[in-house]
Chain A
Amino acid sequence: MEERLQTLKEEALSQIESASSMKELQDIRVAYLGKKGPITEILRGMGKLSAEERPKMGQLANEIRAAISEKLDEKTQVMEKAAVEEKLKQETIDITLPGRPVNKGNHHPLTRVIEEIEDLFLGMGFSIAEGPEVETDYYNFEALNLPKDHPARDMQDSFYVTEETLLRTHTSPMQARTMEKLNGEGPVKIIVPGKVYRRDTDDATHSHQFMQIEGLMVGEDVRMSDLKGVLQAFAKKMFGEEREIRLRPSFFPFTEPSVEMDISCFNCGGSGCSVCKGTGWIEILGGGMVHPNVLRMSGFDPEKVTGFAFGMGPERIAMLKYGIDDIRHFYTNDSRFIKQFNHI
């Protein structure tokens, strides 16, 4: 009997060894270890054995069963692993093929520049005022200290609709509109982004329609040094931490003193190049201390409050910042142009 058991064991193990599918293994399991299998059968015949031999044979039979079972499990695992590996192999893809594009558009570069500036000033406690694009002569000119026959009106030839209304030539009319509502109570801290219009023939550097951002701060003890500080923060944010600014005296009817702000050239760092026309400085914007007439006309007392104002052109800023060579690109909406600004 012992001999038979040993033979069975060897037979089973060798069959397991040579099995090549899960099905075969299952068959082997049933054949050797099943209720009708030879081992069970042998064990059934154990009654004929002596009391001495019986436990010995029983133990041996169980050991052989365990060995077969263990071998079966082992082989099953190996085969499962091979199956998984085979499956993975088959599933392998060319990971260098292009991914499915996520369908996504993006902002117009002018919007991006404007929002960046808005966010900077929001952080400094300014709010964003918006006003009409068709304005009265009063708000566009007179309330800004530009009476009807003022020679400086030549500086900004405009599109009139009627004698008294025109397409605004700057977003500065919101100075008066905002201040009037406050009945002389400050502080006023606004920036005014928006479209403006001037009588220019469209070419690489002129556009009859363009954007402007006006800034206004009015309150007790607002100083020109504050204008300088605020503009310095602006210049560093938009053009880089290492930028320096300088203020140059200038003239605008609605500010006195008036200044123009230059930044140190971001291209050459100030040593002179084609971007800054060899001067090391680039003109960015105009501003100054709000003219007392402007404050007075809008209900503020220039003896009690002072203020600063500035105006800048997002097109110019974008052109400088991104090296854009033609202002018309902003308005033709060539998607090859707009798409370039997808990560700003």
Chain B
Amino acid sequence: MLVSLNWLSQYVDIEGYSADELAELITKGGIEVETVESLNKGIKGVVIGHVLECASHPDADKLSVCKVDIGEEEPVQIICGAPNVAKDQYVAVAKVGAVLPGNFKIKKAKLRGEPSHGMICSLQELGVESKLVQKEYAEGIFVFSDEVTPGEDALEYLNLNDTILELGLTPNRADAMNMIGVAYEVGAVLNRPISLPSPELVRSEESAENHVSVRIEDEEDAPYYGATIIKDVTVQPSPQWLVNRLVSAGIRPINNVVDITNFVLLEYGQPLHAFDYDRFGSKEVMIRRAKQEEKIVTLDDTERTLSSDHLVITNGHTPVAVAGVMGGADSEVQGDTTTVLLEAAYFNSKLVRKSSKDLGLRSDSSSRFEKGIDRNRVVPASERAAQLIQDLAGGTVLRGVAEQGARHVEAKDVSVEVARINQVLGTEISESEVAAIFDRLQFSYKNFGGTFTVQVPPRRPDITITEDLIEEVGRLYGYDNVPATLPITESTPGQLTDYQVKRRRVRRMLEGAGLYQAVTYSLTSPAKRVFFSDESPEAIRLAMPMSEERSELRTSLLPHLLEAAQYNINRQLENIALYETASVFLPSGSELPKEEEHLAGVMTGLWQEHPWQKEKKPADFFVMKGVVEELAVDLGLQDRLSFVRAQEPKLHPGRTAAVHLDGEAIGYLGQLHPEVEKELDLKETFVFEVNLEKMLTANVEHLKYAKLPRFPSVTRDVALVVDEMLEASEVKNVIQGAGGSKLVDINLFDVYQGEHLEEGKKSLAFSLRYYNPEQTLTEEEVKSAHDRVLQAVEEQFGAALRS
């Protein structure tokens, strides 16, 4: 909503406040002033001029040589290029020395040999937006239609000294979508009285009802419809004051009748529509639901197809307007219109919203109906428009209104106790202060011992319950005056859940291990969703995606994490280590999908680097595995997590492990398949993704301290030559099984293949530590346990001791 301060001052005294001060006060009162804009874009020295003579330039077809009276002793000669300049016009002249928007200075000039002392201006040159310039002046200079005096300041006449406040209205404050509503608000904020227009209408003897009848099919859809008939209308341009009002509100002037309906829309918030009575097609206005597939060509010359969801105004046969949204082209007021049928109605806001949405048509009218207008202002607004048409278009207003429905609704009562106000706000506002605030709002009320029963006027449909009144009192009392306190309630232990504590620990552990946290999008493309899976579950797809790229919810974190890796690599960053914890979305069979928190990581390039000491450790499978293993340690799951050789689509078939927790697969770890690396333009890249929820919710036994060793332990190293395909974990398991309770530690310290070993064999070297917590181990104890180990690996794998 654009509010002209010149216009506003017609209803409420704003003297003594600068535009910025006023904006600040209105904002603090609850309606945010988004911008304060002066219409004068730096203009100086523009006056009214009278074109006394206008002749063609001797040496240029498109230029005119004009003698212009600008209120000085002698007329000045001005060369003008506008096609519409003519003798006897009153125009805006930028004198020599004047400044136009953009700091454009006017100097004496010679145009094709003829001296020019100034410039005759178009509105655009004075800073008026092109879309607001009347059609007749769009391609040339502006011409005053009112009587004006040469030499006077043109800005005053053109309202270019005005300041505009742009209000950012929340949906509940539709009451401020019109000047009267703004006046009520500003009056309340400033605590000043307001004065509203009181239309004085002279009605003729002739009765409107002889010319038209009104029938509403369902008063639920249209609770009130009134038609006023105005005869002998002359359609012509509006006077400058009316033009100025519309321009200040961002509406382009068209002709007096249309401008008046727009003016009253802005002033009263009441959408009106003027039909050409002679083109209406009947003497009956019939308001009904549209028929299925019924068609209408609207004012914007577009054919619209309607349905029974839409309310239309008809002439008894065909639609002439989409109720509350837009009129039809056929019955539009035109230059030759002489009789006007003026519609003033109250339509169901939901229906208007539906029509507007379905037809993709938003108008100043529909946006007001949608949010709710003041039922009690319908008839006064209609009278105001009729009066203006009478005054400005020479119309004769017929007696009476053809109408159906109630003109008036009663104010609703809402009560509030002063004690309740103070309880909710935490204030100590007195009864008399509350009364004063309701007075400022111009609400009638009764007060019985601190209980206010307020008659809420229909102009404020947002106020329906006690809390709404508390807000009214609070905002005018001023939230600055509400103290800042801390709650007095029973104390509660603010703490993280176990899950949240562990999640924080996981993040810190991963960061300590060198990974950076990434946050990526949940919405992905169908291709990315299934990237890491052959048999992906059914997609959870948006009903109306904005793009295919963001159309489905992801089922894995890795695709976007890899995308982040690529993003970095494309920016010459080579060493990448990222992780993310986030939800993936899986079909659940019930209304909402299953959301599962996952953890994924990606690494490529160098893992560690210290150049001058020649240290370089590239990321590899075991770096990544170490991270996952350490994660298990941090969560107390080190003995329950295992890695099992596996195949995953998109991963290297020989370098992939399934991650198992208590024997159940919860994710995977591996290197990207070389083909995938090539496809994504990545070097060797290692990834993992696990179901984090499983890891964080696994039941971990309470930690109990283990006694420190009191006796020395004995370590024996053994290098075993086994088949190269045999996995170390198998050997370890057999050693563990055979070693008995004294074998407390098995540590793989060397893997060797090559010279001195038979083809197809490898050597695994383990360090075995024996310990007895009861007493110092004897040589016999160690020997017998160690012999069992050697025997077992010999029997199981044919493992020979490497000499």
Contacts and interface: CB of A to CB of B under 8 A. Distances in A.
Interface of A: 97-98, 100-101, 103-108, 110-111, 115, 118, 121-128, 132-136, 149, 151-152, 154-155, 159-165, 167, 186-187, 189, 195, 197, 199, 201, 208-209, 217, 219-226, 228-230, 232-233, 245-251, 256-259, 289, 291-292, 306, 330-336, 338-339
B471 A249 contact: yes
Contacts of B370: 151
30 contacts: A101-B609, A104-B514, A107-B511, A125-B491, A125-B494, A127-B497, A128-B500, A136-B591, A149-B350, A155-B171, A159-B544, A161-B543, A187-B490, A197-B523, A209-B523, A221-B488, A223-B423, A223-B426, A225-B426, A226-B426, A228-B426, A229-B485, A246-B479, A246-B480, A256-B470, A330-B519, A331-B519, A333-B520, A333-B567, A336-B573
A25 to B, nearest CB: 40
Interface stretch (B380-388, B394-402, B610-618): B610-618
A306 to B, nearest CB: 6
Contact of B479 (A195, A232, A249): A249
Interface of A, secondary structure class, is mixed
Nearest to A155: B171
Contact of B494 (A122, A229, A331): A122
Contacts of A155: 171
Given A126-B494, A225-B484, A151 B171 contact: yes
B797 interface: no
Given A108-B516, A127-B492, A229-B484, 18 more contacts: A105-B510, A105-B579, A107-B511, A111-B507, A125-B491, A127-B496, A127-B497, A136-B591, A209-B522, A219-B489, A229-B485, A230-B486, A251-B173, A256-B471, A259-B479, A331-B521, A334-B573, A335-B573
Interface in B537-577: 540-546, 550, 553, 564, 567-568, 571, 573, 576-577
Contact of A247 (B482, B487, B500, B544): B482
Given A223-B485, A248-B32, A259-B479, A338 B474 contact: no
Contacts of B479: 224, 228, 246-249, 259
Given A106-B511, A135-B592, A159 B424 contact: no
B27 interface: yes
Nearest to A258: B471
A111 to B, nearest CB: 6
A93 B567 CA distance: 40
Contacts of A128: 496-497, 500
Contacts of A232: 484
Closest 5 A-B residue pairs measured CB to CB? A225-B426, A249-B30, A223-B426, A257-B471, A251-B170
A253 B650 CA distance: 48
Interface in B456-487: 465, 467-468, 470-471, 474-475, 479-480, 482-487
Interface string B506-536: 0100111111111111110000000000000
B496 A226 contact: no
B371 interface: yes
B27 A103 contact: no
A340 to B, nearest CB: 11
Q: Which of A97, A189, A256 has the most CB of B within 10 A?
A: A256
B44 to A, nearest CB: 24
Contacts of A108: 516-519
B29 to A, nearest CB: 7
Interface of B: 27-30, 32, 170-173, 350, 353, 370-371, 423-427, 465, 467-468, 470-471, 474-475, 479-480, 482-497, 500, 504, 507, 510-523, 540-546, 550, 553, 564, 567-568, 571, 573, 576-579, 582-583, 585, 591-593, 595, 607-610, 612-613, 615
A159 B577 contact: no
Nearest to A233: B486
B542 A219 contact: no
A106 B517 contact: yes
Contacts of B523: 159, 167, 197, 208-209
Given A230-B487, A232-B484, A335-B568, A164 B517 contact: no
Contacts of A219: 487, 489-490
Contacts of A220: 489
A98 B609 CA distance: 12
Contacts of A291: 467
Nearest to A260: B32
A149 B543 CA distance: 19
Contact of A256 (B467, B541, B615): B467
Given A134-B553, A208-B523, A338 B592 contact: no
A100 B494 contact: no
Contacts of A100: 610, 613, 615
Given A132-B595, A230-B487, A161 B542 contact: yes
B573 A226 contact: no
A149 B352 CA distance: 12
Contacts of B470: 256-257, 289
A104 B353 contact: no
A104 B480 CA distance: 47
A239 to B, nearest CB: 16
Contact of A225 (B32, B371, B483): B483
Contacts of A230: 486-487
A105 B512 CA distance: 6
A132 B495 CA distance: 21
A224 B424 contact: yes
Nearest to B490: A187
Contacts of B488: 221
Contacts of A161: 540-543, 553, 593
B504 A115 contact: yes
B780 to A, nearest CB: 46
Contacts of B371: 151
Contacts of A98: 612
A306 B567 CA distance: 49
Nearest to A332: B567
A259 B475 CA distance: 9
Contact of A333 (B468, B495, B519, B542): B519
Contacts of B553: 134, 161
A229 B519 contact: no
A114 to B, nearest CB: 10
A121 B485 contact: no
Nearest to A232: B484
A101 B467 CA distance: 60
A233 B424 CA distance: 20
Contacts of A186: 489
Nearest to A250: B170
A258 B494 CA distance: 26
Contact of A289 (B170, B424, B494, B609): B424
A103 B540 contact: no
Nearest to A103: B514
B484 A208 contact: no
B555 to A, nearest CB: 13
Given A134-B593, A224-B424, A289-B467, A124 B494 contact: yes
B248 to A, nearest CB: 23
Contacts of A163: 543
Q: Which of A98, A161, A334 has the most CB of B within 10 A?
A: A161
A338 B518 contact: yes
B452 to A, nearest CB: 16
A181 to B, nearest CB: 14
B494 A189 contact: yes
Q: Which of B170, B173, B497 has the most CB of A within 10 A?
A: B170
Nearest to A226: B487
Nearest to A330: B519
Contacts of A167: 522-523, 542
Nearest to B553: A134
A233 B423 CA distance: 22
B511 A292 contact: no
A61 to B, nearest CB: 53
Contacts of A195: 522, 582-583
Contacts of A224: 424-426, 474, 479, 482
